[in-house]
Amino acid sequence: MDFKLTEEHLMIQQAARDFAQAELLQGVIERDEKQIFPAEQIKKMGELGFMGMMVDPKYGGSGLDTVSYVLAMEEISKIDASASVVMSVNNSLVCWGLQAFGSEEQKQKYLTRLATGEIIGAFCLSEPEAGSDATSQKTSAIDMGDHYLVNGTKNWITNGSTADVYLVIAQTHADKKHKGINALILEKGMPGFEIGPKEQKLGIRGSDTHSLMFNDVKVPKENRIGEDGFGFKFAMKTLAGGRIGIASQALGIAAGAYELALKYSKERKAFGTEICNHQAIAFKLADMHVAIEAARHLCLKAAWDKDNGNNYDISGAMAKLFASQTAMDTTIEAVQIHGGNGYVKEYHVERLMRDAKITQIYEGTSEIQKIVISRAIIAQ
């Protein structure tokens, strides 16, 4: 067993760290406060190859492995989890889904521009009444011969207004339940496709989250991904990889808060010494450090499974479950270590605490991860 990262991995990690410090740190508080999308920063991330990291270079991607993606996601998320969710959705849900299951025409038409970050994508599964219960899709895609007629509403869509390309999961043959679902590629501006108002969120406030409404949207047949009825499997397979991205985001949020708390505890004095010298603080730092290291191992193991052709449904679910709990626990303790300063914006940890919560909710709640893991254990 070899735990050593390659030279290339270390270079990518450093490049992401440098980018986050140089380009994302500045203005992160204001973007959070005013819900400003990091448009310029995302454009630069595209130029550096962070928006299509695992895409084959022949489609404009960086041709890197999932381990590299985890390393970059951690570094970006330490500084700006709003930018990293845009990166995660584009990389692991949209680009990976198209690369793995799209037709050659779809790859040429959409993937090449998504992988370079020229445009970004959105993944549209959740509905007002179908979040965790993903088989209960109400959005319909009626087969009209040469096109589908799409009607319905999607909720909580990341990149909702900033995307140009939307992968939409919809029901075609209701009697076939999950086997009648399709995944379709929609484009912004298609007649009948409306974007609802921006959600006012607790965290990841720089990213834009919207409802989407479809009213008799005509989608050409060639925009269906895979065979008729493949949509649910497409969503499950894509989300399995997406969970590695969100696990890495949670890891980055935890690690970012920990690094700030460690630094603060070495500078702040109370009762005649730096507060890190008090066991009440030192023990918190030890617990944070151990949990983050364990979360990092789970993220890298899931990525390694994916890169080596192993099943990663379970390792990805374990990484997401543990890393998101670690993000929550660690950010709460980081605020506590900062005392009163932790409760004000300029110290960053209150934002990281708010950002952490979503990692236990999106791309499958913690409860969904436990369903995936427990079913696998019981089936053994």
230 vs 304 by CB, closer to ligand COS: 230
Residue 56: exposed, middle, or buried by beta-carbon count in 10 A (0-12, 13-18, 19+)? middle
CA atoms within 13 A on the CB side of 227: 4
For residues 98 and 234, give the distance between their C-alpha atoms in angstroms, rounded to a whole number.
Answer: 10
Choice from 98, 186, 225, 372 touching ligand COS (CB under 6 A): 372
The yes or no reply on residue 285 touching ligand COS (CB under 6 A) is no
Which distant-in-sequence residues (6+ apart) come within 8 Å of 372 by Cβ? 313, 314, 317, 364
Q: Which of residues 233-272 bind ligand COS (CB under 6 A)?
A: 233, 236-237, 239-240
Instruction: Choose which of 28, 45, 141, 368 interacts with ligand COS (CB under 6 A).
Output: 368
What is the three-class DSSP state of 173? coil
Contact in structure between 223 and 184 (CB atoms under 8 Å): yes
Contact status: 163 vs ligand COS (CB under 6 A): no
208 binds ligand COS, rule: CB under 6 A? no
By the rule CB under 6 A, 122 interacts with ligand COS? no
Q: Which of 37, 232, 264, 312 binds ligand COS (CB under 6 A)?
A: 232
Give the shortest CB-78-to-ligand COS separation in angstroms. Answer: 23
Yes or no: say if 184 and 148 are a contact pair by the CB < 8 Å rule. Answer: yes
Ranges within 29-88 binding ligand COS (CB under 6 A) = none
Contacts of 265-272 with C-beta under 8 Å, sequence gap 24+, read 265/337, 268/339
| Residue that has been written with the tokens 């985890």 in this structure | 70
Among 14, 132, 215, 310, which residue sits at the site for ligand COS (rule: CB under 6 A)? 132
| Cross-strand pairs, 219 | 148
Q: 75, 333, 350, 363: which is the annotated catalytic residue?
A: 363
The residues annotated with a catalytic role in the active site are 363
Which residues would be at the binding site for ligand COS (CB under 6 A)?
Answer: 123, 125-126, 131-132, 134-135, 178, 232-233, 236-237, 239-240, 313, 362-364, 368, 371-372
